[in-house]
Amino acid sequence: MDHPKTTSRRILVMGVSGSGKSHIGRLLAERLGVEFIDGDDHHPQANIDKMARGIPLNDDDRQGWLDTLAGLIADYHRRDASLVIGCSALKRRYRDQLRSGDPALAILFLEGSREQLLERLTSREGHFFTGEAMLESQLADLEPPGSDEAITLNIGDSPESLAAAFIASLDSTYC
């Protein structure tokens, strides 16, 4: 798809829990010198409580939250300000909702195997999202984006390599 050349861009870092959205998103924003928003910080408390009880979110739970994030993306787009935002964005229609804020939203999909993801989740401490069953539900909901929607990178690489590879792909897409 052809998009008008712009001096700013909005970037979504997506993937299931433990794929590295917060870590890679923050690093990417730092490398690009732009703001980072962690989608998790915008969940209503009811969603956090539900996940902390080990109950996966459903479409209804995610609706208002995705609306909030789409609104933030739209706001940055309107102001021609750059942004990296982390959000699981598991289903195609969730991404469509986020793209309603910026049709040229660039997407980095962090892809990993069940084993890689479980290892990352079990070594992480102090987070409300835990447990193998929760990861299973995320993998069941995941509709992986194709190359028409996203740049896909495997989480086995170091954070620095992932950020550099994505930035290189952006340059070739946008220049």
Ligand X SMILES: Nc1ncnc2c1ncn2[C@@H]1O[C@H](COP(=O)(O)OP(=O)(O)OP(=O)(O)O)[C@@H](O)[C@H]1O
Enumerate binding residues for ligand X (CB under 6 A). Answer: 15, 17-24, 40, 86, 88, 120, 124, 129, 155, 158-159, 162
Partner that binds at residue 62, options ligand GCO, ligand X, none, CB closer than 5 to 8 Å by kind: ligand GCO
Which of residues 8 and 161 has its CB atom nearest to ligand X in the complex? 161
d(CA 96, CA 84): 17
Q: Least distance (Å) from ligand X to the CB of residue 38?
A: 7
Q: Look up residue 1 and give its amino acid.
A: M
| Rounded Cα–Cα distance for residues 166 and 175 (Å) | 14
Give whichever of 57 and 155 is closer to ligand X, judged by the CB atom. 155
Q: Which is nearer to ligand GCO, 152 or 169 (CB)?
A: 152
Q: Which is nearer to ligand X, 76 or 109 (CB)?
A: 109
Indicate the DSSP class of residue 153: E
The full DSSP string for 11-73 is: EEEE-STTSSHHHHHHHHHHHHT-EEEEGGGGS-HHHHHHHHTT----HHHHHHHHHHHHHHH
Among 11, 129, 142, 149, which residue sits at the site for ligand GCO (rule: CB under 6 A)? 129
Among 62, 77, 95, 99, binds ligand GCO (CB under 6 A): 62
Contact positions vs ligand GCO (CB under 6 A): 17, 40, 57, 62, 88, 90, 129, 138
